[in-house]
Structure 1
Amino acid sequence: MYDIYYIGAQNSEKIDFCQWPYMVTGGDVFDGSYDEIEDDDHIQGFEKKITSKKLNIEIAKTGLITLPQAIDNLESVTEKDIIATTAGKLYVGNSYMKCWIRGTAKDRWIADLDRISNELEVITDYPYWITEEEFRFHKQGSESSEALEWLEFPYDVPYEVSKVRNLQYINNNNYTASGFKMIIYGPCINPLIRIAGHVYELRTTLYDGEYAVIDSSTRYAKDRKIIKVKADGTEENLFNSKNNESSIWEKIPAGLSIVSWNGAFGFDIILFNERGTPRWTLHSQT
């Protein structure tokens, strides 16, 4: 059975389409295509535009949950995101697509009082399936950093690298370079990180309890941002604090890359690995 579910953007409410009262029966979520970019009768590249998908489900009375309750719960979760114009996430296994469930087409609602068929229409303006990978790099001298001494590194990482705590690696399992979100924790001054020889630098000061977020998770420049989150939760725009001599939006290469920094601060990196279709994985049922 495939593990398919929707997480609403408003309250992170979950609709599990592989657990009654909902059960997926079909659809085209595993299908995908690209639109060609054409110039003078030649294909210059490919892109994706606003895309709609179909997800066929059964909704049934289950235990203490009546059929009307199950229908109303599904539609209340999805319509909150429609009203707020904030995309939820449709998951297939570990991959998700940012989207809205904008329509339903119900069948068999006259003849059957305990079960109906429902075709859901899913629409997205970012038609990519995303799998996240998280990596943590600890401040030198912290307890977590001390534990790295016993960490097993891949066979192809040089011995010298594995013994230097502020010289580590990141392994991007995607087949192409990935967007990312980088979270840098204070206190630190002008934090600089090198990944595969590329410099990511902020020319700013982060005090204790503060952190900076470099959000390059999307391929669309208008959605990228750099912010500082202060100890009281307020945010400050750091877009003009980036080192303009080395692109801070540079994607992280596929495969193994060396990560180096001065060890005076800790940081996290979340990779956003994108595909045109979700990974073909099955969820074991017991």
Structure 2
Amino acid sequence: MYSIYYIGAQNSERIDFCQWPYMVTGGDLFDGEFDAIEDDDRIQGWERKITSKKLNIEIHAVGVSLEQAIDQLENVAEKDVLNTTPGRLYVGSSYMKGWLVGTTKDRWLQDLDSISNELIFKSDYPYWITEEEFHFYKRGSGNAEKMEWLEFPYNFPYEFSKVRNLQYINNSNYTASGFKMIIYGPCINPLIRIAGHIYELRTTLYEGEYAVIDSSTRYAKDRKIVKVRNDGTEENLFNSKNNASSIWEKIPAGLSIVSWNGAFGFDIILFNERGTPRWTSR
């Protein structure tokens, strides 16, 4: 049985659809279809437009009253709708961003302690995302020393694993992935090469500060680069990126060499996208 649940965007409230008072009974979460991009009566490519998914559940008075269970579900859903901030619908390790926008109830006229409920989940970014995390440490830290002699899973022309500040990232997806990169200060003009491509910010990060490069959206206008200061305030660093080398370049599938000067640490979170949820945990 897959774990299926919704995480609200406002307060990270969780609605678990595989544990009473809610229990999934069906739906079309594992179905999917791409939309054709047509020109002159020929298919030029494929995309996914705004998509609705159905989730059928039973709501049963277990632990709380039926009325409380219904209100809790709809309170979490409507907060995200009214704030136009997408929550996340999870199926196993995959999630889709969107909103619970529709509800159809059955048997509500009867004096029962349970009802059937069909929920409609709508997304303008209808891809199921599985995250992969990678951590790269500052030279001289205890974690960096442990990583220094890392053995690579494949044979390379020479022993990359014994070269300082040279690591790898193994993207398990079948295609290139968007990412979030978190760079930790102190450092000046941090530059990272992945598969030969340069990701660079021309800025200074002081002790305790960090920069976030976030390409986790399909729309370029919504992508962001920010510095987070010690007091939690943010500074827009969008104009600090190296425009000679696209900072939004997706990270290739498979094994890629990662290199930097070792003067700072950073994390990379890959967003591996699929048209349907993964059937395996990884």
TM-score of the two chains, using structure 2 as the length reference: 0.96
Residue in 2 that maps onto 1:94: 93
| Other-structure match for 1:243 | 242
**Identity of matched residues, %:** 80
Contact 1:5 / 1:16 at 8 angstroms: preserved in 2? yes
Match of 1:11 in 2: 11
Q: Which amino acid aligns with 1:96?
A: Y
SS in 1 for 2:116: strand
Aligned to 2:55: 55
The offset of 1:37, in angstroms, is 0.9
Q: What is aligned with 2:79?
A: 80
Shifted more, 152-161 versus 44-53: the winner is 152-161
- Give CA deviations for 1:112-152 in whole Å, capped at 9, x if unaligned: 51110000011111101100101000000001111224644
Q: Which runs of 5+ in 1 are unaligned?
A: none
Q: Which residue of 1 aligns with 2:200?
A: 201
Counterpart amino acid of 1:117? S
Q: Is the 8 A contact 1:201 1:242 kept in 2?
A: yes
The 3-state SS of whatever aligns with 2:159 is helix
Shift of 1:163: 1.5
Please tell me whether residue 70 in structure 1 is matched to residue 33 in structure 2: no
In the alignment, what sits opposite 1:26? 26
Distance 1:6 1:158 in 2: 47
Q: What's the offset of the Cα at 1:110?
A: 2.3
Report the counterpart of residue 270 of structure 1 in structure 2. 269
Alpha-carbon offset, residue 65 of structure 1: 1.1
Aligned to 1:108: 107
Q: How does 1:130-149 map to 2 (within 5 A)?
A: 130-149=129-148
SS in structure 1 at match of 2:74 = helix
Give the alignment's Cα RMSD to 1 decimal: 1.3
Contact map agreement 2:150 2:162 (CA 8 A) in 1: no
Q: TM-score, normalised by structure 1?
A: 0.95
- Aligned 1:27-46 pairs, distance under 5 A: 27-46=27-46
Q: What is the SS of the residue equivalent to 1:68?
A: helix
For structure 2, which runs of at least 5 residues remain unmatched after alignment?
none
Aligned-partner Cα distance in 1 for 2:95–2:111 = 33
**2:177/2:250 contact within 8 Å kept:** yes
Distance in 2 separating the partners of 1:261 and 1:219: 28
Tell me the equivalent position of 1:174.
Answer: 173
